[in-house]
Amino acid sequence: MNLQFKKIIFYAAILLAGIFAPIVFPAYTFQLAVLWMMILFALTWDILGGQMGYNSLGNILFFGAGMYICTVVQIGMYYDVAEYTAHFGAVKIDFTPYQYFTGISAGLVIAAFACAIIAVIFGWIVFGLRGPYFAIGTLGVAIAAGELVGAWDYVGGGGGISLPNYPGGPGDREMFFYMLCFISAVCTFIFLKWLYSTRFQLALNAIRDDEEKAEAMGIHTNRYKTIAWSFAAFFLGISGGIFGNMTGFIEPLEVAFPTVTFGIFMVLMVLLGGKGTLWGPVIGAIIFHVIKEITWTYLLGWQWVALGALIIINVVYFQQGIMGWAQEKWPEFFGITVDEAITSAEENSPAEKEASL
């Protein structure tokens, strides 16, 4: 059994588990759907935070923007949006299955591309900022977006919008959204796996390691940064559209732009799993989601304190994350080998160990 074959079995097992999990545990369908969404969050955050070294605290902006754009498109295709939102969900208009499914597919596609465009525009504003200024600036943009949407009556303002009812049984509805979450997360993973095998990843890593030198080597850093952010925005926009439909009600501060919940969770999940790796965010997301569900169930009232403590412990004591720790412990498994030629040449000097791929 060679390695290639093992890998295929491994991926097939994950796919099968993903498909059959809601059938085996029907009570947890919603939680599992959120888990896939969390994986998507962590993966998209890692494009900038891990691979490019730009720690954004405001990626949630695209989640909320995607949610609102998708909703407005969905409703706007068949009804007047202003009239719909003016009723604050008091009047539920039934959509026919045809209207519903064309609406949601058009909404998701438009939300994805619109978010990518928003990323290009905001990238122009924020990518001149470095280090902590970037983190604070993106946080500011995300909070400001939430406040502004809350003041915009056309999309329902602070009162929010109720989304159209799913035409079909309740069991179908859960399964439908679970599948959407599952497929979008898997597509994100496949896309990033491909992206990280191209020169694009090398350019991102060069920006992370030393942006000035990367520029000196002729890498168009601004272009790479903007494109990388719009990739993240593309998938976050889709996830926002799905999540809005899944919860059935959207509102600017708690659901669409939750800067201190989902916005921080994505950072935390990546740090927990190990940033700058492909599998780190996935593992981090799974572990974090399990921890979160347990604390939310058994430590009710204290869950936020537990979350803050987890952030501090994670950042202060365990920053390399699970994947980073595993790579240090079993470097051979990750294809990291010690170059004998270099180490033997430096044997007599107390130089640091040189690890090369």
Partner 1 sequence: MFDNLSLLGLVPMLNLQLLLDGLLIGSVFALAAYGLALVWGVMNIKNLAQGDFVIMGGYITFTLSQPPINLHPILSIPIIFVLMFVFGWGLYHTIIKRVIERDLFTSLLATFGLAIVIQQLINLAYGPDVQTADAGMEIREFFGGEITIADTKLVSFLLALVVGLLITFFMKKSRMGRAIRATSQDARAARIMGVDTDRVYAFTFSLNAAICGVAGVLISIIWVIQPFFGITHSIRSFVIVTSAGFGNLIGVILSALGLGAVEQFSGFVFGAEFQQATVVGLLVGVLIIRQIMQSRQRQVVQ
Residues that bind partner 1 (CB under 8 A): 55, 57, 125-126, 128-129, 131-133, 135-137, 140-141, 143-144, 147-148, 151, 215, 218-222, 260, 264, 267, 271, 301-302, 304-305, 307-312, 315-317, 319
Residue 343 in contact with residue 354, Cβ under 8 Å?
A: yes
Shortest Cβ 141–partner 1 spacing (Å): 6
Residue 160 in contact with residue 252, Cβ under 8 Å?
A: yes
Give the helix/strand (H/E) hosting 163.
Answer: none
Q: Is the dihedral of CA 166, 172, 174, 179 positive or negative?
A: negative
- Whichever of 35 and 307 has its CB closer to partner 1, that residue is 307
Shortest Cβ 41–partner 1 spacing (Å): 16
- Whichever of 52 and 73 has its CB closer to partner 1, that residue is 52
Shortest Cβ 328–partner 1 spacing (Å): 17
Give the residue from 340, 288, 330, 341 showing the smallest Cα distance to 311: 288
- Whichever of 90 and 199 has its CB closer to partner 1, that residue is 199
Shortest Cβ 214–partner 1 spacing (Å): 9
Q: What is the chain's Cα-based Rg?
A: 22
- Whichever of 118 and 135 has its CB closer to partner 1, that residue is 135
Beta bridge partners of 338: 355
Give the residue from 249, 256, 254 showing the smallest Cα distance to 88: 249
Shortest Cβ 121–partner 1 spacing (Å): 13
Shortest Cβ 270–partner 1 spacing (Å): 11
Q: How far is CA 114 from CA 34, 57, 63, 65, 237, in A?
A: 23, 20, 12, 9, 8
Shortest Cβ 220–partner 1 spacing (Å): 5
Q: How far is CA 93 from CA 36, 68, 85, 167, 293, in A?
A: 30, 18, 11, 11, 34
Measured distance CA(130)–CA(215) in Å, rounded: 15
At 198, the amino acid letter reads T
- Whichever of 20 and 133 has its CB closer to partner 1, that residue is 133
Measured distance CA(292)–CA(286) in Å, rounded: 10
- Whichever of 5 and 317 has its CB closer to partner 1, that residue is 317
- Whichever of 102 and 205 has its CB closer to partner 1, that residue is 205
